[in-house]
Amino acid sequence: MSTLFTVLSAMVALMLCAFSAQASPGDDFNRAAAPKPSHLIQPEHGTASELRARRMRERHGGARAGGHATASATPPTYKNYPSFPKNVDNNVSHALKLAVGTLREQLGKPYLWGGSSPGDGFDCSGLVYYAYRDLLEIRLPRTANTMYHLKDAPLVGRHELERGDLVFFAIHTRRAADHVGVYLGEGRFIQAPRTGETIRISSLHNDYWTRHYLGARRLLTQATVR
């Protein structure tokens, strides 16, 4: 009996250690559900949020397949910007101002898996897509990992970050990006964190984000801005 009790006590101790390693009280993002399998890139943020996204698509008359709205029923939405004024000296600076302004307007909006509109909510890459798509000549992918591999956007070192750069994180994987935000300067970035949270500004200096930081790309350049 004493041996069995010792084994059970050891197992409980190990479980408690694993739990504390997964959730740090210093960051709300860490209080998400336990990591999903590594092959789930981007849509791993939760079935409850996915269900809400489906209901939103159905409510807005999304196309149906077999009586159910499909994940691709509603194409991703983005903000339509007016034509740039002819007297603009720098298209990149003008595009950056528009993008950051749009991102800030979304602060407090809910996270929604598959979401890319202010009315429904955003997931992490949906927020980026909404703010940037109409400012670009190039095709902007929809998911964090495809954005991370976008060759038209040059890689940027962490100490070379500028406002508007995309910052990527590997939360549930080692080499693939499953989270993206937009750098705002002074070590801050704006993001749509996870199910149950709202769009917010976070710090890259936070231990959690430092640990999961993967890299950055500059999306707005002379070669990419319309």
Q: Is 22 a catalytic residue?
A: no
Q: Is 106 a catalytic residue?
A: no
Total residue length of the chain = 226
Q: Rounded CA gap, 82 and 99, in Å?
A: 13
Q: Is 124 a catalytic residue?
A: yes
Give every CB contact of residue 144 below 8 A, 6+ residues apart in sequence: 41, 42, 124, 125, 168, 177, 178, 179, 180
Catalytic residue among 42, 191, 205, 222: 191
End-to-end CA distance of the chain: 74
Catalytic residue among 94, 179, 205, 212: 179
Catalytic residue among 39, 124, 159, 212: 124
The catalytic site residues sit at 124, 179, 191
